[in-house]
Amino acid sequence: MNGVERPTEESGGRVLLRSVRPYGTGDPVDLLVENGRIAALGADLDVEADRVVHAEGAVALPGFVDLHTHLREPGREDAETVESGSVAAALGGYTAVFAMANTDPVADNAIVVEHVRRRGDEVGLVDVHPVGAVTAGLGGAKLAEIGAMARSSAAVRVFSDDGHCVDDPLLVRRALEYTGAFGGVVAQHAQDPRLTPGAQAHEGGNAARLGLAGWPAPAEESVVARDCMLAGHTGGSLHVCHVSSAGTADFLSWWRSRDVRGRVSAEVTPHHLLLTDELLETYDPRYKVNPPLRTDDDVRGLREALASGVIDCVATDHAPHAEQDKDCEWSAARPGMLGLQTALSVLVRGMVRPGLLDWRGVARVLSEAPARIAGLTDQGRPLEVGEPANIALVDPEGEWTVHGTELAGTAVNTPFEGMVLPARVFATISRGRVTALDGKVEPRGGRS
Ligand SMILES: NC(=O)N[C@@H](CC(=O)O)C(=O)O
Ligand SMILES: [Zn+2]
Ligand SMILES: [Zn+2]
């Protein structure tokens, strides 16, 4: 269903990954990659290879898929580009990312989405799938050129006005009907604008104390409930972006226990799995994000929902911002945080270490589920002979301190600044080619 397919093979030669543990289970095995696929898997493989990667003890997982990335190109190349975002993605273990449509110009037509996809292919570090806008110019008034984007060489399947909520229920209905006809999905940024005028922080005790206008959880929950009902009515596919409240997770749990038409999926960000609005005490705009960081109870509810499958996947909402847009007073700062290079480690800290998820679960929420939601057939596949070689190798014992200035790209707005996080992405293999190894990317045509 993906229209124009990229070639499976990326002539990375024969690459032998020595001593890896698929899904973190069993004894170490060797994994041979050839012609973009897994060619052999077994203990102490006796084969010739162009390149041997010694990965003693690394956990092998299917390459990660991010349904929610802001690459800022075109328009804000001072914050991020397709190239710098691809570097961050490869270093974070990603082999596919979905680039959100809130660029300038907006990705609401075939020309912009084809540009983004082409740039992604030229950079060649990760599959860049452009997301198309739902409404023209993200204006919320009339549908964008959904069909033209779907039929374009970018073969768009995910549509979102992210950054804005598609508020008008009739437009949501039409978008679900239209995209449903060709297997597309509408990804909603659920935020009732009438309940969040000037909102700056989770509505609660902390916001009140700090004098910040509140963003109440029902502004998310009510839109999610409405959109689920529209998905059920139309038979379309709805994806809920960045679930931030335990109430939304409760609703989704109930909704999904029912026998309804349509398909509903949901994502949670790493930051909503780890951080709370207590951090706002510092007035540091690095903690400003949409939807806002909420309470301990929300974090607990989101973790449980991710563990149980009520929330399908983790998506980063990687949102790089230029210095002048973040390094300013709270109310003037743009919302959003970096996420691609810290997602795996935050997930390990928030879910794996507390025993809520094992490595198979990590593969599910970072790779298999997002690939399924977006309809990708060459990502999120089992680590088996004959399957596409999209692979992340993780050092489970690695530990590192996050510094924004050491992350890829020019933006430094990580909310995890100074934190010591567990687990490191050791290598990424995309379409059979090593794209990142030991903290360095390897652009096509030569290592750097
Ligand atoms: N998450 C954010 O706070 N910001 C995103 C938009 C969005 O995801 O809503 C951005 O584009 O910067
Ligand atoms: Zn959003
Ligand atoms: Zn976003």
d(CA 266, CA 187): 9
| pLDDT category of residue 11 using cuts at 50, 70 and 90 | low
Give yes or no for a contact between 14 and 32, defined as CB atoms under 8 angstroms apart. Answer: yes
| pLDDT category of residue 444 using cuts at 50, 70 and 90 | confident
d(CA 244, CA 231): 20
Give yes or no for a contact between 269 and 241, defined as CB atoms under 8 angstroms apart. Answer: no
Closest atom of ligand 1 to CA, residue 70: 11
d(CA 400, CA 295): 26
How would you classify residue 157: left for phi > 0, otherwise alpha for psi between -120 and 50, otherwise beta? alpha
d(CA 143, CA 137): 9
Give yes or no for a contact between 149 and 143, defined as CB atoms under 8 angstroms apart. Answer: no
What pLDDT does 445 receive? 64
pTM of the predicted model, to two decimals? 0.97
Mean pLDDT of the chain: 96
Q: Is 297 a catalytic residue?
A: no
Looking at the CA of 220, name the nearest ligand: 2
**pLDDT one-digit tens code per residue, 176-186:** 999 999 999 99
Which of the listed residues 67, 69, 70 should we mutate to test ligand 1's pocket, taking the one with most ligand atoms within 8 A of CB? 70
**pLDDT one-digit tens code per residue, 249-288:** 999 999 999 989 999 999 999 999 999 999 999 999 999 9
Domain ranges of the chain: 63-382
Q: How far apart are the first and last CA of the chain?
A: 35
**pLDDT one-digit tens code per residue, 343-371:** 999 999 999 999 999 999 999 999 999 99
Which residue reads 């960000």 in tokens? 269
Question: What DSSP letter does each residue of 14-29 carry, written as one string?
Answer: -EEEEEEEETT-SS-E
Q: Is the CB of 69 under 6 A from ligand 1?
A: no
Take atom 8 of ligand 1 and give the residue whose Cα is closest.
163
Cβ burial of 361 (10 Å; 0-12, 13-18, 19+) is middle
Calculate the CA 17 to chain-centre distance: 26
Phi/psi of residue 35, each to 5°?
50, 40
Pairing label, strands 15-22, 29-34: antiparallel
Nearest to 336 by CA among 80, 96, 94: 80
Residues whose Cβ atom is located within 5 A of ion ligand 3: 162, 317
189 is in an annotated binding site: yes
Q: Where are the alpha helices (DSSP H) in 15-127?
A: 82-91, 110-123
Residue 1 scores a pLDDT above 80:
no
Whether omega before 74 lies within 30 degrees of 0, making that bond cis, reads: yes
Q: Is the CB of 70 under 6 A from ligand 1?
A: yes
Which of the listed residues 162, 196, 267 should we mutate to test ligand 1's pocket, taking the one with most ligand atoms within 8 A of CB? 162
Q: Is the CB of 289 under 6 A from ligand 1?
A: yes
Q: What is the CATH number of domain 63-382?
A: 3.20.20.140
Closest atom of ligand 1 to CA, residue 335: 3
Residue 290 scores a pLDDT above 60:
yes
Looking at the CA of 69, name the nearest ligand: 3
70 is in an annotated binding site: yes
Query: Mean per-residue pLDDT for 285-311?
Result: 98
413 is in an annotated binding site: no
**pLDDT one-digit tens code per residue, 90-134:** 999 999 999 999 999 999 999 999 999 999 999 999 999 999 999
Query: Mean per-residue pLDDT for 144-169?
Result: 98
290 is in an annotated binding site: yes
Cβ burial of 303 (10 Å; 0-12, 13-18, 19+) is buried
The least confident of 131-140, 144-153, 436-445 is 436-445
Structure tokens at 6: 């990229």
Q: Which of 127, 317, 325, 378 is catalytic?
A: 317
Q: Is the CB of 325 under 6 A from ligand 1?
A: no
Distance 186 CA to ligand 3 centre (A): 14
d(CA 181, CA 188): 18
Beta-carbon-side half-sphere exposure of residue 225 (alpha carbons within 13 Å) = 13
d(CA 381, CA 17): 18
Residue 400 Cα distances to 25, 201, 326, 342, angstroms = 24, 29, 24, 10
Q: Is the CB of 379 under 6 A from ligand 1?
A: no
| pLDDT category of residue 46 using cuts at 50, 70 and 90 | very high
Nearest to 364 by CA among 319, 425, 308, 317: 308
Take atom 2 of ligand 1 and give the residue whose Cα is closest.
336
**Widest Cα–Cα separation across the chain:** 66
Closest atom of ligand 1 to CA, residue 100: 11
Cβ burial of 448 (10 Å; 0-12, 13-18, 19+) is exposed
Q: Which residue has the higher pLDDT, 443 or 214?
A: 214
Respond yes or no on whether ipTM tops 0.85: yes
Give yes or no for a contact between 410 and 104, defined as CB atoms under 8 angstroms apart. Answer: no
